[in-house]
Structure 1
Amino acid sequence: MSLVDYAKTERQRETVQVWEDCGRHTSKAAGILNISPSTVRDHVTAVKSKAAAAGYSDNWDASRHVPEGEHVIGRSIYTEDDEGNKAWLKTRRTMTDAERDKALQGFVDGLIKGVKPYKPKAKPKTKKFDSNLLPTIVIGDAHFGMRADARETKERDYDTKIASQDMITAIDCLVDLAPAAEKCLLVNVGDFIHANGSSGTTFAGTKLDVDTRIEVVLETAAQTFLFAIDKILSKHKTCVVVMARGNHDSDTAIALALILKFYYSKEPRVTILDPHGFFHTLQFGQNLIAVHHGDKVKAAKLGSLLPKMLPEQWATTNYRKWLVGHIHHQSAIEVDNGCKIEAFGTLSPPDSWHAGAGYGAASVMNQIVFHKDGGEAIRHVYQIRDSRKVPDLTI
């Protein structure tokens, strides 16, 4: 085995091979590949991390001792303390945020290799726009990549293909219902991707029911967003996309946002907000709108958090609202300072575990139309009518 064997993408494989052929000289490899030295370092670091998890390093190859499907989680050293007592010292290395960001960027680079920035052709038919309204489509926890079997859940079947079809149908309907406003806001409140990577687990490591490889899930998710944004641009002048990180997809949410930022890097009508961090805020006239997944800060506390985050904007607006997800059903509260916190439902049905625990709600997607003077002017709700909810037997 060699380091090249642990490359995850063709871009990584090519970069590491050239780097090896150049005697591991980063600048020389960068010159041959016509990329920056930092990009070479990022690819090499990502591959080294993958190799280390499999038990391989430059001076030690224990990969033959690691069974297929398993990975190295640490190292044990037999040593002794200052008093001569024998002991095993167990260590485990965790990835830093900077290393995780670099690994994500390397993964995204591999996905978009050879792809050119996208230039939408869609344009609004109308020439009269209402600048006082802001249609806001809120995507609840979509869980692209989840597998659910109707025989187990007593709900609908669900997989990546179905998730995409459901969202496309919902977006198509909601945009058609929206007023002809200048701007449109597309908000993903988190957990759009079911798993946080190729391991098929959440960010915390919980094992999940997944239906396909993470590369396929991200590609399908990106294509679905392309449809959504194109549809929005056929009705509105501009589109702003907010991509919140959830407890399932803390890293893959960033990867998806970076893919979209690349796609629309030459399209001034589309703005993809920076996906880093866990809170996102926007102001529209007298409205202060905030987005959070809802897993890290409970709803009641979010109300007191917003005036601390943006005291000046809090003082100059009269309608403040948090858009959150996580609980998979519609719920809204108003706290003492007047701030509203609304949790939004999702189009996805429950998976096996949630169905077995009694969870489940209507499959919906909401569009709120904010008025510039403050508050909600119109609301549209798209709902999937589920035909499977019947008894197992009628006698």
Structure 2
Amino acid sequence: MPSSKDHLLEFHKSLEAYCRTNRQAQLLNSYIDKNYSSKYAAQDLGVDERYVRRVIAQLKRLSAEDGITPSFDASRFVDAGQKIKGKSTLTKDDEGNIVWIKTTAKAAAEDLAESVSDTVASLTPWPKVAKPKTTENKLCTLYTITDYHIGAYSWARETGDDWDISIAQKVLINAVNDLINGSPKSSQAVLCQLGDFLHWDGLLAVTPTAKNVLDADGRFEKLTEIATECCINIVNLLLQSHDKVHVIMAEGNHDLAASVWLRLLMKQVFGKNKRVTVEDSPFPYYKFSWGNSFLGFHHGHLSRINKMPAKFYSEFARDMGQSAYRYLHTGHLHHKEVVEDAGVVVERHPTLSARDAHGSRGFSNSIRAAQSITYDKDYGEVSRTVVYPRIK
């Protein structure tokens, strides 16, 4: 008969089945190795002890919802093909009356929300990157990534190009490196992730509002892991070539919720780095000023390109009025377009991502690209670099 120590070890090892991310599995293993000590597991991984407690408690709760606790395994009494969806307990109230207490399992979406929230809160500030030796203090370079749709799936025979999470990760980092190498070493950089960075926004691969079914690659947990890793790596790459980096994680129509936690994540990771600022406004129209230039940003899902000058004038009249040059940047339609009106240049940026089946059947093919634009404090735009997708 197994000892209580062996039984406890067996139970905790069974919790690995409820880990949604590699980070949770790593934390669980450290917790077991450190003799079930949250304190020593936290020290081992360099995270807050409260985070360890929350994750272990969450894993135990998920296990309990399947009827498995350290002292009891209800799954032994469940027939094949059935699952436990709740718990009924016969007990007595304060007056001695017999009562049934019935509970049901918490929704998976709520669990995911808790998981994301805990993960963001647990992140420790990223190690600081050394400043470049020299930069050009009158220049600011804008790096725009839009409609990247990490998590989308495309089959080349149907759409013209293959696209999945692995390809997306390689293409993105290659493109950013190419843009940095082709741009001046400006003192200021702006990373504008202009929306629709993630292809879908939750457990189901559908659009957030219309609930249209999407061609998807991978699990949502994997999607969020890759997306956060890419964003952090890009900022670190920019810090190697620029004194300061301003980060914009814009709202898109495919990632209404993800844009919120991406902003929170970037503030948490780079919160103590004085070289990084993060736009934290929930308002989906964003601004940044550099000398005589006003830069505005909006994904394009709420305002058409010809209406944007008026919209930005109504929201940022003082900033735009004090600027000699006014540039607005948008995406959404996956192709390049430039409109100039009322002293404002509005530019729709192309995307690096491949078309999915819906895009290939209903819309014209467009050139896939990304670009960096450099602005002088006195003269506005002075140069730009355009790169195209490559895997190698």
Say yes or no: does 1:213 pair with 2:213: no
Contact in 1 for aligned 2:207/2:254 (Cα 8 Å): yes
Say yes or no: does 1:161 pair with 2:166: yes
Q: Of 365, 369, 383, which aligns to 1:360?
A: 365
**Which residue is 2:114 aligned to?**
106
Aligned equivalents of 1:374 and 1:332: distance in 2? 19
Say yes or no: does 1:278 pair with 2:277: no
Q: Of 110, 114, 124, which aligns to 1:116?
A: 124
Please give the per-residue CA displacement for 1:303-358, whole angstroms capped at 9, x wherever unaligned: 111121122112211111111110001111012x1112111001101001111113
Contact in 2 for aligned 1:146/1:210 (Cα 8 Å): yes
Runs of 4+ with deviation above 6 angstroms: 7-11, 54-63, 102-105
Say yes or no: does 1:239 pair with 2:238: no
Alignment of structure 1 residues 167-186 onto 2, 5 Å: 167-186=172-191
**Which residue is 1:259 aligned to?**
265
**Which residue is 1:133 aligned to?**
139
Contact in 1 for aligned 2:183/2:384 (Cα 8 Å): no
Contact in 2 for aligned 1:104/1:251 (Cα 8 Å): no
1:34 deviates by 5.2
1:191 deviates by 0.2
Say yes or no: does 1:190 pair with 2:192: no
Inter-CA distance 132–298: structure 2 relative to 1 (3 Å threshold): same
1:275 deviates by 5.1
**Which residue is 1:78 aligned to?**
none
Q: Of 379, 383, 389, which aligns to 2:388?
A: 383
Inter-CA distance 279–56: structure 2 relative to 1 (3 Å threshold): farther
- Between the aligned residues of both structures, percent identity stands at 26
For the aligned residue pairs, the C-alpha RMSD in angstroms reads 3.7
Gaps of 5+ in 2: 1-17, 29-48, 63-83, 89-100
1:301 deviates by 1.2
**Which residue is 1:372 aligned to?**
377
SS at match of 1:131: strand
Aligned equivalents of 1:361 and 1:116: distance in 2? 40
**Which residue is 2:151 aligned to?**
145
- Greater mean deviation of Cα atoms: 206-215 or 267-276: 267-276
Contact in 1 for aligned 2:175/2:390 (Cα 8 Å): no
Aligned equivalents of 2:86 and 2:310: distance in 1? 49
Say yes or no: does 1:315 pair with 2:321: yes
Contact in 1 for aligned 2:267/2:278 (Cα 8 Å): yes
SS at match of 1:118: coil
Inter-CA distance 227–122: structure 2 relative to 1 (3 Å threshold): farther
Inter-CA distance 309–103: structure 2 relative to 1 (3 Å threshold): farther
Normalised by the length of structure 2, the TM-score is 0.71
Aligned equivalents of 2:212 and 2:305: distance in 1? 24
Which amino acid is the alignment partner of residue 201 of structure 2? N
Q: How many residues align?
A: 319
1:8 deviates by 8.9
Gaps of 5+ in 1: 1-6, 15-32, 48-53, 64-70, 73-99, 387-395
Which amino acid is the alignment partner of residue 388 of structure 2? Q
Inter-CA distance 371–219: structure 2 relative to 1 (3 Å threshold): same
